[in-house]
Structure 1
């Protein structure tokens, strides 16, 4: 069935004329004559059956329908241009569109991606932030790195690592001590993670401690936000050490207690079942699992040793 789509030339002419609100400027931008722009927009209006511009001796002005349509067309043409440039730039390479939870992507994955590029220069990995599951069939994503229980229909899950967050804070909050007791931590402002609302309650429970205010305190959606708040002495936060390795090494944050929060959930690489045989995804999967399983905190980082640095 033939699509109900006007000519690309007419859409490009309309988008330019709408952006400038001038047929003359659109003609100059597109290296066409003004009469050619008029014809293209006239044919588009005839195709749509609506008036896109109001003409007068003083020039042209978008109608309400024209304004609404121009906004939609502009975004669609931008998307077509991006996709076209992407294909032109591939030149025989494979591209992996990867959805990734933000802090994991920026703090752990990105610093290691150069190694993958060195090993597989023929594969390009594009990263986009996504925090929750989605339907792969409705997106362009080839895979996702996701924190949870790996319950994602239609996919195969590859476990990367557990989270195991630990209490971290600005060194000044230690007040000269190497670590803080759970009782002392309970007295400090507790920074909360929006998607892990029970984290502090679970941590105190594992220490056999009941803290009435364990779910109070400012809430932040991302671990990177928690880290910034902790560095600015706003309180103490539960953060996985592998997400703040640089901050720990530079002593902007220290681990305040050697006790990590045990969690059944973990970071997983999720690949749709229909794409598991893709060569580029297999290469990325193998490399990522190797990096994750080979990662350990540096020797000087375990527990109190970090606080002493």
Structure 2
């Protein structure tokens, strides 16, 4: 037994606690959980009796957890989320072998996803589950085995497997630039689309082409997919990875107004927590990935 049963509250009590904390009332929690108001109150009383302390206090018409109970609830919320995820994993792959991978949207969908069929054929016992994350996170607070990261080795407490460097190319609608521009500096006369997670991308590109001190103005977006569509619809010039730009260039919905694909700072990595034991599915995935690089 991991711990005495008296310290293991029921799922019903924990669900009631989490819902009351998030929604602020027993009535709202009861509606969400398909219970009566009295049933939610009873679950909270049972939990207080089991823990031997007050966990809920009334603030006007709202219920609020005590400071200590709020901290407890944050841990409970993670436990409930992990439990639900583990159940979904078991349902999706009853033979075991799930790999939870956090991906960057554009790279994950356009570079990694097309290659995963090869991994599936080599390791049919492993199910790869993909979720999007745009920035580094705490592996201790998330249920991921590994993640795709772009940039430098600036993610704390992880192991790194370099995947590939990145080349970017400026692209825009042919209606925005019917003829090739004469210089890199000419791009400053057009709206320049910017990515939230790469705020200095244009400045780096201009510096690499000998242009210093120019003012970069244009729409700010959060994903390459949005940036690509904005460029197609004449809203500005996008600085896209070559693997993402090539599809639209082939369709001629985008053109290169100046220059060619150029190497940028940073690269793509597979990262995973350095202190955690490497599970067999991750070991198989990293071995496969090394083999195709």
**TM-score by structure 1 length?**
0.70
1:47 to partner: Cα distance: 4.3
Aligned residues between the structures: 272
SS of residue in 2 equivalent to 1:64: strand
Distance 2:155 2:39 in 1: 53
- Find the counterpart in structure 2 of residue 265 from structure 1: 266
Larger radius of gyration: 1
- 1:179-218 aligned within 5 A: 179-181=180-182, 182-210=184-212, 212-213=214-215, 215-218=216-219
- Find the counterpart in structure 2 of residue 282 from structure 1: 283
Distance 1:41 1:199 in 2: 52
Distance 1:93 1:269 in 2: 22
Distance 1:81 1:277 in 2: 22
CA-atom RMSD, angstroms?
A: 3.9
| Cα pair 2:90 2:96 within 8 Å, conserved | no
Distance 2:207 2:41 in 1: 73
SS of residue in 2 equivalent to 1:141: coil
Q: Give structure 1 stretches of 5+ with no counterpart.
A: 28-34, 53-61, 294-309
| Cα pair 1:146 1:267 within 8 Å, conserved | yes
Distance 2:276 2:50 in 1: 40
| Cα pair 1:202 1:261 within 8 Å, conserved | no
Change in 2 beyond 3 A, CA 1:95/1:262: same
Distance 1:95 1:200 in 2: 39
Q: Give structure 2 stretches of 5+ with no counterpart.
A: 20-25
1:40 to partner: Cα distance: 6.2
- 1:9-28 aligned within 5 A: 21=30, 26=35
Residue deviations 1:197-241 (CA, integer Å, cap 9, x gap) = 33222222322234532x222222322222121111011111112
| Cα pair 1:189 1:236 within 8 Å, conserved | yes
Distance 1:13 1:146 in 2: 37
Residue deviations 1:125-158 (CA, integer Å, cap 9, x gap) = 1222223333434432211110111244433322
| Cα pair 2:188 2:214 within 8 Å, conserved | no
SS of residue in 2 equivalent to 1:270: strand
1:9 to partner: Cα distance: 5.0
Change in 2 beyond 3 A, CA 1:120/1:187: same
**TM-score by structure 2 length?**
0.73
| Cα pair 2:242 2:261 within 8 Å, conserved | no
| Cα pair 1:13 1:26 within 8 Å, conserved | no
1:123 to partner: Cα distance: 0.7
| Cα pair 1:168 1:237 within 8 Å, conserved | yes
SS of residue in 2 equivalent to 1:234: coil
1:120 to partner: Cα distance: 1.6
| Cα pair 1:51 1:63 within 8 Å, conserved | no
Change in 2 beyond 3 A, CA 1:285/1:65: same
Distance 2:141 2:55 in 1: 34
1:104 to partner: Cα distance: 1.5
Distance 1:157 1:265 in 2: 13
Distance 1:38 1:135 in 2: 34
Change in 2 beyond 3 A, CA 1:280/1:167: same
Distance 1:135 1:39 in 2: 35
1:105 to partner: Cα distance: 1.7
2:245 is equivalent to residue 240 of structure 1: no
